[in-house]
Amino acid sequence: MKHKGKLYFRYGTMGSAKTALLLTTAYNFEERGMKYACLKPIIDTRDKINVIKSRIGIQRECSWIYHDTDLYQFAIELFEKENTAFDWFLIDEAQFLSPEQVDQLSRIVDDFGCNVVCYGLRTDFKTNLFEGSRRLFEIADTIDEIKSTCNCGNKTIVNARIDSNGDFVVEGAQVEIGGDDRYIAVCRKCWRNKRIEQAERNSLPFFETEKILNKQ
């Protein structure tokens, strides 16, 4: 009987140790002699080389996922090269996958019985879903939230983009790669209160910032 795999989506805000969990999982698989592959969209090239690297300093080599990579074909070629199927695929920054690539991952699960675990953000700095995350919410077998805590004690919800003064940014492209200097994870209440304070400081009615934020 063919092994039944699953498509997992494990999401959390920035700084919730998603990458560290992925790398710890990879290490455990390696200790058990399991076949696995780590992959990452090339849109995040802060480390310049094909590695997945966590904030705590651990890292592991990975394969790049390009915007036109067919992940189903990638898996077939990998199996042929290694002369064996793989037990697990671990995907970092899965929010940057296209919906088609998420569907390709689901085919890997269904056709080959592999397990695919996607780690990533749920929403952008405007609280809108990323395309890859949206598709994972639609078709993943198992969805888990990796929780972290706001400075106020509430659960973080928003990946707020900040400027050089520490103010929240409400306009800009959905994707802007950055670390602690550009993003901070906060709860929904703190996110709203900070924007109200900014609006009052800039003599701009809060509803005007809301219109900017929600502008498509």
Helices 206-214 and 188-201 cross at an angle (nearest 10°) of: 120
Judge if 107 and 50 occupy the same domain.
yes
Domain endpoint, select from 101, 119, 145: 145
Clarify whether residues 24 and 84 are in a common domain.
Answer: yes
The catalytic residues are 93
pLDDT at 196: 86
Is residue 2 domain-resident? no
Q: Are residues 53 and 138 in the same domain?
A: yes
- Do 58 and 134 belong together in one domain? yes
User: What is the average pLDDT across 95-111?
Assistant: 97
* 139 belongs to a structural domain: yes
H-run or E-run covering 184: strand 183-186
Token digits of residue 143: 């969805």
In which domain, by residue range, is 176 found?
A: 158-214
Q: Based on the domain organization, do 78 and 169 belong to the same domain?
A: no
Identify the CATH number of the domain in which residue 69 sits: 3.40.50.300
The per-residue pLDDT for 201 is 77
Residue 152 lies in a domain: no
In a domain? residue 151: no
Q: What is the mean pLDDT of the chain?
A: 87
Report the number of distinct structural domains present in the chain.
Answer: 2
**Could you tell me if residue 150 is inside a domain?**
no
* pLDDT at 44 > cutoff 80: no
* Of residues 27 and 213, more confidently modeled: 27
Flag whether 105 is in a domain.
Answer: yes
Q: What is the pLDDT of residues 125-183, one digit of tens each?
A: 999 999 999 999 999 999 999 999 999 999 999 999 988 888 888 888 788 776 667 88
pLDDT tens digits, one per residue of 8-40: 999 999 989 999 999 999 999 988 989 999 999
183 in a structural domain: yes
Q: How many CA atoms lie within 13 A of 77 on its CB side?
A: 7
Candidates 200, 124, 129, 205; CA nearest to 167 is 200
Q: Residue 10 burial by CB count (10 A; 0-12/13-18/19+): exposed, middle or buried? A: buried
- Please state, in angstroms and as integers, the Cα–Cα distance from residue 148 to each residue in 16, 46, 155, 171, following that order: 5, 23, 6, 25
Q: What is the pLDDT of residues 156-165, one digit of tens each?
A: 999 999 888 8
Q: pTM of the prediction?
A: 0.86
